[in-house]
Amino acid sequence: MSLLSPKRIHVGLCCGKCWLKVGELQVERTTEIDVDADLTALQEFFVQALSSMLAEVRSKIKPRSTVSITVSDRLAMISTLPWQETAMSQSELESFAIFWLAKFGMKVDESQLLFANYPRYQAVGLAYALPKVFVETLASTVDSAQLKLKRVIPLSAEVFFSTYFKKVRSSTVVVCEETNSLSAWIFDQEGNIHYEIEPVTASQDQAIKRLFSRISLRYTELEILDFWGVAKDRVPSEMRDHFPLVKSVNKLERECWNKP
């Protein structure tokens, strides 16, 4: 059997499921992590899962193929950035991002890697930070497999920068569910973008209810509900219960963020 041509490899390291996909080839690992597990244990598990999956497909992919890694929101500090009319240099943008994250109680220091960008003119931007040692360990693991790391990005940021995101209409909520965390992107009636997060502290069902209750109180006009989760067939029944104007509920494919 001949090796595959060099291709883009996508790896997901999320709470509940880890996976690696290249072309039609896909391998998975179940993430059995307690909701109260500390971040160090979570990072170690993800590194082990990445190493195991790369070893499994090693004979089926060509060296120097590129790898993009989506990681759990549990490991990230994430915030939207309000649009700024004044042009900023990269260092000014990063300083603004650090200031904005701090407003929400997220302190960025030298132990994190920071990213900030405005992908669309006169629209909100996004800032996120990931543990530096974790990203460097992922990079080393990829390099040891004779592959090239393209990027490491949190799940919510993957959604935000995706082609899918550009096509979302107003009055839509996009919910992403991991076993240890929940997030939602809301497009209100005027097309403004909002971001909500909800940790899972006891059970997923309780966290889902808290998130949906908060969103339905703030945004009453939502009509379209898009749901992404690590469990392939799960769509919470509560989605329709909290949004009386809903016209459609859509289950999104796992790789929908990576489609052109």
62-87 pLDDT, tens digit per residue, is 889 999 999 999 999 999 999 999 88
Which helix (DSSP H) or strand (DSSP E) does residue 118 occupy? none
Q: Is the pLDDT of residue 236 over 90?
A: no
* More confidently predicted of 87 and 54: 54
CATH 3.40.50.80 fits 163-258, yes or no: no
Give one word for 103, left, alpha or beta, with left for phi > 0 and alpha for psi -120 to 50. alpha
* Torsion angles phi and psi, residue 155, rounded to 5: -55, -50
Separation of alpha carbons 217 and 198, rounded Å: 15
Q: Tell me what pLDDT residue 1 has.
A: 40
Q: Is the pLDDT of residue 259 over 80?
A: no
**List of long-range contacts for 25-28, beta carbons under 8 Å, 24+ apart:** 25/57, 25/60, 25/61, 27/53, 27/56, 27/57
| Among 9-13, 106-110, 247-251, the least confident range | 247-251
Tell me the chain's radius of gyration from C-alpha atoms.
Answer: 19
Confidence of residue 6 (pLDDT cuts 50, 70, 90): low
Q: Is the pLDDT of residue 260 over 70?
A: no
Confidence of residue 116 (pLDDT cuts 50, 70, 90): very high
Residue with tokens 């990072």: 43
Separation of alpha carbons 100 and 159, rounded Å: 20
* Torsion angles phi and psi, residue 216, rounded to 5: -65, -30
Q: Tell me what pLDDT residue 199 has.
A: 85
Condensed to tens digits (0 to 9), the pLDDT of residues 173-207 reads 999 998 888 999 999 988 899 999 998 887 788 88
* More confidently predicted of 210 and 140: 140
Confidence of residue 2 (pLDDT cuts 50, 70, 90): very low
Residue with tokens 């209409």: 169
| Among 84-88, 136-140, 141-145, 183-187, the least confident range | 84-88
Is pTM beyond 0.85? Reply is yes
The structural architecture, per CATH, of the domain 8-73+130-158 is 2-Layer Sandwich (3.30)
Say how many C-beta atoms besides its own lie within 10 A of residue 99's C-beta.
12
Residue with tokens 């500090």: 77
Separation of alpha carbons 195 and 187, rounded Å: 9
| Among 21-35, 50-64, 177-191, 234-248, the least confident range | 234-248
Domain with CATH 3.30.420.40 in the chain: 8-73+130-158, 163-258
